[in-house]
Structures are given as C-alpha cells and as structure tokens.
Copies of this chain bind each other. A is one copy, B any other.
C-alpha cells in the first residue's frame, strides 16, 4: 500500500460525496519533497482535477501530497471545476504548510456534477487528523468506486546494498481500457531516483501493465497513475541506465502488473480473469491489435462468462482486428487445450474445456505461426452484473 515505503503517511475518510456514507476522500503525503512521475488518460476530454495535476507536473519539480476523491469526477462542469480543484489543493497545502504547486489532485466518479468543496474541506480536516504511517488501507478504501476489493501491492528489493520499498494502490473496475481508463493508481517508493529515470521507468512499465488491461473498452476522462519517490532508502541516486535502474524498473513492474491484473479481475461484474496472448505475429502491432480485439469483444467476453469454448468468436475477433495474419495458419488454445489448428476446428473434449473455463483464471493463446512478435493482455468476462452495475450507476 502507499504507506509501505518509508516517508509516506496516508488516510482515508468519508466526507459525504458518496451517498452511502462510505469513505470517499484519500490523502497521501510525503515527509519530504518527492520527485514524481505521472501518466494520464489519452481521452481528449479531461477532468478538471486531472487538468490541474497535469499542469503542476509540468512545472513543479517536487510533489508533497496527493488528494483523491471518489464519488464525483469533477469533469465537464466548466471553469468552476478547475477553480474547485485549485481551492481543494490550496486548502490541503495550507494545512501541510507547503507550496500549493506541490499538491496534486485526482477525482473519480460521475461526470457533470460539481464537487462539493465545503464537504471536501471538512473531509481534509478529518483526513489530516487521521494521517498515519499505516493509513494506506484507509486511503485505498476511499478511492474505490464500483471496485469490490481493495487493490494493493508491495514489493521490497535491494538496490546498491539498500532496501528499497515500493507500494501502491489502484482503483478502477469499469471503463478500463488502454490507455489509462477510469483508473487511478498512486504508487510510492523510498527509492532515491532522478525525475528523469522515474519518468522512464513508469512509462516503460505502464505500457506493459496498466495499458494491457481491458474491462469494457471504454477509456475515461479522469485517470492517472502517479509514482512519488521519497528518496529515503539511502541508495545512491539512480540517475542513468544500468543494473540499479533495471532492478528498480523490475520492482515497479511487479507492483504495476499485480495492480493491473487485480483491476481486470475486479472488472465490473467480472467472474474471471482472462489472459489473452498472441504469439508469432509478423509485427508487434498486429499482435497488439488481436489481443485488444479479443479482450474487447462482447461476444468473446460473454462466452467466457457462459463457460462456452466458442473459439469461433476468438478467430472472428482476430479477423476484424485489422491485423495481418493468414487464416489458414492460426492455432488457438484455451487454457492449453488446442481447439483450432491451421484455422480449422479440432475435435476436443468439451468436458476438459468446461473444466478450464470454470476456473477463476485461464489463458487464451493465439499462435499466428508467422513471425516472432507477441502481445499479452488481461481482461475479464461480461456478466449479468456488468449490465446491472452499469445500467444504474449514476442514478
């Protein structure tokens, strides 16, 4: 969680944005100024809180705190939304006695409804009183929307003889699709690393983790992943490529991968985590197009839910993905069971297939037998509950 690394306090409180009285305001603060890296939604509509955070990340070399609310996206409400984000970060900055430019903000929830700044100010007072070095779990609870489980991961590694910790939290279960759909992840580390190398590590890792997760193909307007580094581990500053950088990137990868998979597994209404891998493609782009088409296909996803080994929908999705492949060379496996060879149906034992599909997690492997490029993605099934949750989310 975000209080695993040294130098970070957090808390999470209920300030009244969520109608059901659950926690809806998280604060993560650092004991000392942090270097920080961020990646953001590619949606051209951007929430006002995210706009402010992106501006500050451009100009401020250090970050001291992040405040995240759930229950309201603070998006599409005009200038007021931007002003509200300013007011909220200013208020927290005053309490912490830091420059407001070093305070970031994230918001997630319904679009088109203004934030209630008064409630949030009171919430910040409360969150400030409750800040602690073990508050990471409360902060996690406070950023959940339709999430059913908290998503936390912690990793300890040794870099240059020093113990380095990385811990993170993530929310987001619907609307998750590359790139960076309704997903907010805050990761903290005590590694001593330059801003430049932290940016590089996050960018590399996000492309292999959060951006390889799809729940429903929709990408939202508010989403971001931030990594704050407190530099308290005492390792010599990682300022360039090399074994120490690699160790750090690997550890960050492990954290992000586990958070990303937790998001896919907790997709709205999801009952299964499905790994989609395409191998031996002619180009990386072809492989990516196919994993993405399968991961997004409502027909594939309802078949996963129905535990139906309907690989015809998989080859169909590959076929319309716009990727190049030769239909008479494609092989398809469901959890290791070969169901299609050279584009032709194989006879297989339906009971074995059902046994595989009944598992919580399984893998779809598509072998194009053309080249050497591959792609992997994680998705979930599409259930009755997906429709139920999303048919009545706003009301």
Chain A residues engaging chain B, CB cutoff 8 angstroms: 42-46, 73, 75-78, 110-114, 174-175, 216-221, 296-299, 302-303, 305-306, 308-313, 315-320, 325, 327, 339-340, 342-345, 382-384, 386-388, 390-395
B77 touches A303 (CB 8 A): no
Smallest CB–CB gap between A76 and chain B, Å? 6
Report the separation of the CA atoms of residues A393 and B307 in the bound assembly, to the nearest whole angstrom.
Answer: 11
- How distant is A205 from chain B, measured CB to nearest CB, in Å? 22
In the assembly, what is the distance between CA of A76 and CA of B14, in Å?
Answer: 55
Contact of A306 with B76 at beta-carbon distance under 8 Å, contacts A43-B320, A219-B316 already known: no
Nearest CB in chain B to that of A391: its residue: B306
Determine if A395 and B306 form an interchain contact, defined as CB atoms under 8 angstroms apart: yes
List B contacts of A318 (CB < 8 A).
45
Q: A296-B217, A308-B392 are in contact. Are A44 and B302 (CB under 8 A)?
A: no
Known A343-B78, A344-B76, A345-B112; contact A218-B45, beta-carbon cutoff 8 A: no
User: Whole-angstrom distance from the CB of A113 to the nearest CB of chain B?
Assistant: 7
Chain A to chain B contacts (Cβ below 8 Å), 8 pairs = A43-B319, A78-B343, A112-B339, A175-B299, A217-B298, A298-B298, A302-B390, A303-B391
Q: How far is the CA of A382 from the CA of B302 in the complex (A)?
A: 12
Select which of B43, B297, B316 is within 8 A of A43 by beta carbon.
B316
Complex CA distance for A306 and B385, rounded to whole angstroms = 13
> What's the nearest-Cβ distance from chain B to residue A386, in Å?
7
List the B residue with the shortest CB-CB distance to A45: B319
- A265 CB, nearest partner CB in chain B, Å: 18
A335 to chain B, nearest CB (A): 17
B residues less than 8 Å from A391 (CB atoms): 302-303, 305-306, 308
Given A327-B44, A387-B386, the answer on whether A77 and B345 have CB atoms closer than 8 Å is yes
Say which residue of B77, B114, B220, B316 sits within 8 Å of A316 (CB atoms): B220
How many Å lie between the Cα of A42 and that of B320 in the bound state?
7
Say yes or no: B387 contacts A45, CB within 8 Å.
Answer: no
A395 & B316 in contact (Cβ 8 Å cutoff)? no
CA distance A86 to B175 in the complex (A): 46
Q: Are the C-beta atoms of B319 and A390 separated by less than 8 Å?
A: no
Q: Beyond the given A76-B327, A111-B313, A382-B387, could you list 9 further A-B residue pairs with CB under 8 A, ordered by the A residue number?
A: A44-B319, A78-B344, A112-B345, A175-B316, A216-B299, A220-B316, A221-B316, A221-B319, A303-B391
Do B344 and A77 touch (CB < 8 A)? yes
- Bound: A298/B395 CA distance, A: 17
A76 touches B298 (CB 8 A): no
Instruction: Choose among B113, B305, B312, B392 the residue that contacts A345 (Cβ–Cβ < 8 A).
Output: B113
A36 CB to nearest B CB, Å: 25
**Chain B nearest Cβ from A179, distance in angstroms:** 9
A395 touches B308 (CB 8 A): yes
Q: B residues within 8 A CB of A303?
A: 390-391, 393-394
